[in-house]
Amino acid sequence: MTLPSENEPPTRRQALGVITATAAGFAVVQEATAADNPAANVADRASSIRVKSLTPFRAGPKVFIKIETNHSVTGWGEIDQLEPNTAIALVTSLFELLDGENPTRIEHLWQKIYRAHRDMRGGPFMVHTIAGIDMALWDIAGKLWGTPVYRLLGGPTRDKIRVYPSPKAIKPGAGPGEFCATPQELDRYVKYVAECRKQVGPDGAMIFDAHCALPPPFLIQLASMIEPHNIMFIEEPAVPGNIEVFKRLKAAIRIPLGSGERDRTIWEFIPYLQERCLDVLQPDCAHTGGITQMKKIAALAEGYQVPLAPHCVTSELGVSASFHATAAIPFFLIHEYYPNLLKGADKFLRKNWTVDAQGYASLPEGPGLGVEVDEKVLAEYPKTDKSKWEWPKRGRLADGSIADY
């Protein structure tokens, strides 16, 4: 190939020759450096750890899952608020997407499962199940590195976690209500809230849980009457799904509003922040896709100066997972926790954190989630537990119509 002189423009043939030679040279360089290119090694070929099995265990209304690896490192997770038979069937089917994968590629596996089927993306059944898997994968990662999960998330931002209910934090709640309240019913709620304030004292915290059960006209009436009792925030002021209702309530109520236990993933939380209609976000680690999503929701909320007050109705295993996420976020208010919510779970779950008299939980210790599971006792649980899953039958108004709750 003849190159053109300095003052002579190249011919078309010469130009094509230069391009071809350059491309060939680039290909040689690319091939030579591929082994050193991080982008070409996203599969983490240096690690031989792989997922080899997933075992679900039913315990009353909850499902626990065990994920085993070929390196004898095991992770545990909890699937919450799903019909157990359905949860077991779904997580067993989803194992097809995990089998043989590197369990430390947590974000990759979360995306792989969530996006696996275009017509089953999102929703409570899929996302609650992914949450249990996500907890187990983080448990494996922490155990593999011999450290608590919150240290893999950037380290703790606090030394302890405030929880409720406690002697200094309480949450009175509401049942199904008509669209407009009578003076008698309003008075009943006002007295109820006043008694709760007296119980925790002026230095205590009180949340009022509307539970999506009080229609907007009712809640607007009530909020102005309980405002003098200094409510930390009203929880679940409306049923999720219609942002316009939340905007309407925010414009009419001066008490801070919080919600999120029935919202799943970052995509369902974005509208609340964009429309500035919630003052507190309440994601549930077991409902919103696990630790992976909860950390992302916290980052979104931080940008809007909105704290998290995580909802949580799991056993101590799920609570521990939520505590790890909570420990690693900067904007936090208070965390829900009910001891021994699953009766008899203390016989097969051993946590290593405690709650003090002031209502603060210590941070989980030990590698992974920091919860030891006695598999043999867990396997025997269904033989001794007499409870069974039942679909809720509450939620009716005086005329027999179905109400939200």
**How far is the C-alpha of 354 from the C-alpha of 282, rounded, in Å?**
22
Residue 23, pLDDT score: 45
Ramachandran angles phi, psi of 67, nearest 5°: -110, 125
Q: Are 404 and 212 within 8 A, CB to CB? A: yes
**How far is the C-alpha of 311 from the C-alpha of 240, rounded, in Å?**
15
Burial class (CB in 10 A: 0-12, 13-18, 19+), 8: exposed
**How far is the C-alpha of 390 from the C-alpha of 211, rounded, in Å?**
20
**How far is the C-alpha of 142 from the C-alpha of 366, rounded, in Å?**
9
Task: Provide the CB-side half-sphere exposure for 207 (13 A, CA).
Answer: 27
Residue 11, pLDDT score: 58
**How far is the C-alpha of 110 from the C-alpha of 265, rounded, in Å?**
11
Which own/partner pairs from 88-94 qualify as long-range (CB within 8 Å, at least 24 positions apart)?
Answer: 88/56, 88/58, 88/63, 90/125, 90/126, 90/129, 91/54, 91/56, 91/63, 91/65, 91/129, 91/132, 91/133, 92/54, 92/56, 94/129, 94/130, 94/133
Alpha helices in 201-310 (DSSP H): 216-226, 243-252, 265-275, 291-303
Residue 398, pLDDT score: 87
Q: What residue spans define the domains of the chain?
A: 51-146, 152-367
pTM: 0.88
Residue 307, pLDDT score: 98
Burial class (CB in 10 A: 0-12, 13-18, 19+), 91: buried
Active site residue 311: yes
Output the CATH code of domain 152-367. 3.20.20.120
Distant-in-sequence, close-in-space partners of 189: CB < 8 Å, separation ≥ 6: 174, 181, 222, 225, 226
**At 266, is the secondary structure helix, strand, or coil?**
helix
Output the CATH code of domain 51-146. 3.30.390.10
Annotated catalytic residue, options 71, 108, 211, 229: 211
Q: Which residues pair with 257 in a beta bridge?
A: 234
pLDDT one digit per residue (tens) for the chain, 405 residues: 444 444 555 555 554 454 444 444 444 434 444 456 554 555 566 689 999 999 999 999 999 999 999 999 999 999 999 999 999 999 999 999 999 999 999 999 999 999 999 999 999 999 999 999 999 999 999 999 999 999 999 999 999 999 999 999 999 999 898 888 899 999 999 999 999 999 999 999 999 999 999 999 999 999 999 999 999 999 999 999 999 999 999 999 999 999 999 999 999 999 999 999 999 999 999 999 999 999 999 999 999 999 999 999 999 999 999 999 999 999 999 999 999 999 999 999 999 999 999 999 999 999 999 999 999 999 999 988 877 788 888 778 889 998 888
Radius of gyration of the chain (CA): 26
Residue 207, pLDDT score: 98
**How far is the C-alpha of 144 from the C-alpha of 162, rounded, in Å?**
29
Give, for 187, the enclosing helix (H) or strand (E).
helix 183-200
Annotated catalytic residue, options 71, 108, 128, 311: 311
Residue 123's region, left for phi above 0, alpha for psi from -120 to 50, else beta, is: left
**How far is the C-alpha of 355 from the C-alpha of 352, rounded, in Å?**
11
